[in-house]
């Protein structure tokens, strides 16, 4: 089972002076259990793309299939199936904490599943489970106001609200933007855990090449509404020209290692994480002796 994009194109405000082609013939498949990053500069079509994944936008041409069901199907026979398919895809927008509104954390997280008809014990169980997945102690936090929390905690509450809907696919639009280094690290750990525990299929939009290298098994790089690359992060980062054309930078460590190579240091430039880089530099220094 998978999310499949087939030759998807989308134009904003067609036939007006503001007409803008945001997606241009994009095709790819997100397999069940995969962890995919989407990167690209502002205006490259990333956000338009993710809004297609749960039918917030429908393609102008092409199709988006979730587990084989066309999300745009509005025929009398297909409508119900399309709705169910859209429900399988949980969407966490940028700065999701801005969408918190309830008086207590538990009530905010319960809002989604309640609207799906869940109540009583089952509803409380959902809320508890989602909070614990996001590293929020149920007893300590459930009755507190979400507005008293730190930025990082608020964001976790907002994500818990989506997880409480039990999505099969989870889409996160820049989940770590605006968080401090510790908050960023905590959230990344939680996302890793989610994947392991729930076998969620995850798609996340990010500008952070280090995060992409660490988390994703493949990365889609968007440029001018087209897919420039879909490959494993390591392979994608080797295509420095395409990265730069797409307004992205190679990971910092890789950049450093490449510069060291350029000045004649015999380093192996295949590390992205700190420990790998340090190891490569040490090796090179001992060879140089």
Task: Select from 74-82, 102-110, 126-134, 245-253 the region that touches other proteins (CB under 8 A).
Answer: 245-253
Distance CA 155, CA 176 (A): 9
Structure token pair of residue 8? 């998807």
53-92 residues near other proteins, rule: CB under 8 A: none
Task: Select from 21-29, 57-65, 143-151, 230-238 the region that touches other proteins (CB under 8 A).
Answer: 143-151
Q: Which is nearer to other proteins, 70 or 250 (CB)?
A: 250
Which residue in the set 259, 268, 273, 283 belongs to the binding site for other proteins (CB under 8 A)? 259
Structure token pair of residue 177? 């933007």
Q: Which is nearer to other proteins, 114 or 279 (CB)?
A: 279
Q: Is 180 in the site for other proteins (CB under 8 A)?
A: yes
Q: How far apart are the first and last CA of the chain?
A: 54
Q: Which is nearer to other proteins, 73 or 174 (CB)?
A: 174
CB of 259 to other proteins, least distance (A): 5
Q: Is 135 in the site for other proteins (CB under 8 A)?
A: no
Which residue in the set 1, 61, 235, 285 belongs to the binding site for other proteins (CB under 8 A)? 285
Q: Is 274 in the site for other proteins (CB under 8 A)?
A: yes
Rounded (5°) CA angle 169-175-178? 170
205-234 residues near other proteins, rule: CB under 8 A: 207
Q: Which residues pair with 69 in a beta bridge?
A: 66
Q: Is 148 in the site for other proteins (CB under 8 A)?
A: yes
Residues that bind other proteins (CB under 8 A): 18, 40-43, 94, 145, 147-148, 150-152, 177-183, 207, 247-249, 252-253, 255-256, 259-260, 263-265, 274, 277-278, 281-282, 285, 288-289
């Amino acid at each position: 089972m998978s999310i499949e994009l087939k030759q998807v194109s989308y134009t904003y405000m067609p036939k007006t002076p503001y007409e803008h082609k945001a997606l241009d013939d994009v095709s790819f498949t997100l397999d069940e259990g995969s962890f995919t990053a989407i990167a690209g500069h502002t205006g490259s079509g990333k956000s338009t793309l993710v809004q297609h994944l749960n039918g917030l936008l429908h393609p102008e041409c092409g199709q988006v299939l979730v587990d084989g069901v066309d999300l745009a199907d509005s025929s009398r026979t297909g409508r119900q199936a399309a709705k169910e398919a859209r429900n399988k895809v949980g969407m966490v927008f940028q700065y999701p904490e801005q969408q918190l509104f309830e008086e207590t954390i538990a009530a905010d997280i319960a809002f989604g599943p309640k609207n799906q008809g869940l109540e009583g014990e089952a509803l409380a169980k959902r809320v508890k489970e989602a909070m614990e997945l996001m590293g929020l102690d149920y007893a300590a936090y459930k009755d507190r106001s979400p507005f008293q929390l730190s930025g990082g905690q608020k964001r976790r509450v907002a994500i818990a609200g989506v997880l409480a809907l039990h999505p099969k696919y989870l889409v996160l639009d820049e989940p770590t933007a605006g968080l401090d280094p510790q908050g960023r690290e905590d959230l990344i750990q939680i996302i890793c855990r989610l994947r392991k525990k729930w076998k969620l299929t995850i798609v996340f939009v990010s500008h952070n090449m280090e995060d992409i290298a660490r988390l994703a098994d493949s990365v889609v790089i968007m440029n001018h509404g087209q897919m420039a690359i879909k490959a494993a992060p390591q392979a994608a980062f080797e295509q420095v020209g395409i990265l730069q054309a797409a307004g992205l930078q190679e990971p910092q460590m890789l950049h450093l290692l490449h510069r060291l190579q350029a000045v004649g240091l015999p380093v192996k430039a295949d590390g992205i994480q700190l420990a790998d880089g340090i190891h490569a530099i040490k090796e090179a220094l001992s060879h140089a002796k």
